[in-house]
Amino acid sequence: MRTLWMALCALARLWPGTLAGCAEAGRCCPGRDAACFVRGWRLDRVYGTCFCDQACRLTGDCCFDYARACPARPCIVGEWSPWSGCGDQCKPAARVRRRPVRQEPRNGGAPCPPLEERAGCLDYSTPRGQDCGHSFVPAFITTSAFNKERTRQSTSPQWSTDTEDSGYCMEFKTESLTHHCALENRPLTRWMQYLREGYTVCVDCQPPAMNSVSLRCSGDGLDSDGNQTLHWQAIGNPRCQGTWKKVRSTQVP
């Protein structure tokens, strides 16, 4: 390549104007643009029509200086926004976060990653602060990461942030689940892939999901005899659901 460049420079001194390229023409075009061309040397050492569009890398007809004149610039994104609130109260909904584009990709640079993420959520109180957790049947489950990102005070005003009740864990043995659970591949719902028939899972019951009066979670199966089939549904994908049976109840350390 260095030898070719020196040869072209020497040729330019003999015939001014023969080294015309993308930089001299001031051209850099996205995609495939048949009008984005100049007369000059191509990378394959052929003089004639050469292109300054992004597709020339694939067709092999770029001008000799395309890489320098039109460098690839990747997409650059900003930080994630805070999570929005749940889209609705007292029923499974979705929360959203977004991030802005700081720099658009150019000249074949890396495309932008996802700019929006959605995750399931469930508010346990009405807009007036009334507890509505008792109405949730079947049991709605989500990843523990959701509980780390919310505060008891903001989600359920009935709970004090200094409450000493740490909740309890219900162990269930999964009996069945729909195939939709295994199809989840979104970053914040990927945990559904790990649900398996015959596995024992521990489901935490903690505020604000815990009723502030009964200190119970709806659908916890605490009163079942162990032979009763109970139903559950994943928050974030209503088609991911199934059945399980209670094994035992344990305290959360």
pLDDT tens-place string over residues 83-142: 888 777 766 777 889 999 999 998 888 999 999 988 777 776 666 766 665 555 577 887
- Collapsing DSSP to helix, strand or coil, 193 comes out as helix
How far, in Å, CA of 49 to CA of 62, rounded?
9
Contacts of 109 by beta carbon, 8 Å cutoff, 6+ apart: 72, 73, 74, 75
Is residue 93 within 8 A of residue 86, CB to CB? The reply is yes
Question: What is the pLDDT, as a whole number, of residue 12?
Answer: 46
How far, in Å, CA of 208 to CA of 181, rounded?
25
Quick one: CA dihedral 34, 72, 23, 39, positive or negative?
Answer: negative
Q: Structure tokens of 188?
A: 């914040």
Closest CA to 94 of 105, 103, 85: 85
Is residue 221 within 8 A of residue 139, CB to CB? The reply is yes
How far, in Å, CA of 169 to CA of 201, rounded?
10
pLDDT in tens, the chain (253 residues): 555 555 555 554 444 445 678 998 899 998 889 999 999 888 888 889 999 998 898 888 999 999 899 998 999 999 999 988 877 776 677 788 999 999 999 888 899 999 998 877 777 666 676 666 555 557 788 776 555 444 433 444 444 444 455 678 888 888 888 888 888 888 778 888 888 888 888 888 877 777 777 777 777 777 666 677 788 888 888 888 888 888 888 765 5
Question: What is the pLDDT, as a whole number, of residue 124?
Answer: 64
The pTM of the full predicted model, rounded to 2 decimals, is 0.52
Contacts of 203 by beta carbon, 8 Å cutoff, 6+ apart: 139, 141, 169, 170, 171, 172, 220
Question: What is the pLDDT, as a whole number, of residue 191?
Answer: 85
SS3 content of the chain, % helix, strand, coil (to 5): 20, 30, 55
Is residue 69 within 8 A of residue 105, CB to CB? The reply is no
Closest CA to 156 of 134, 132, 120: 132
Question: What is the pLDDT, as a whole number, of residue 139?
Answer: 78
Half-sphere exposure of 194 (CA within 13 A, CB side): 8
Q: Structure tokens of 232?
A: 């559950």
DSSP for residue 145: H
DSSP for residue 5: H
Question: What is the pLDDT, as a whole number, of residue 100?
Answer: 96
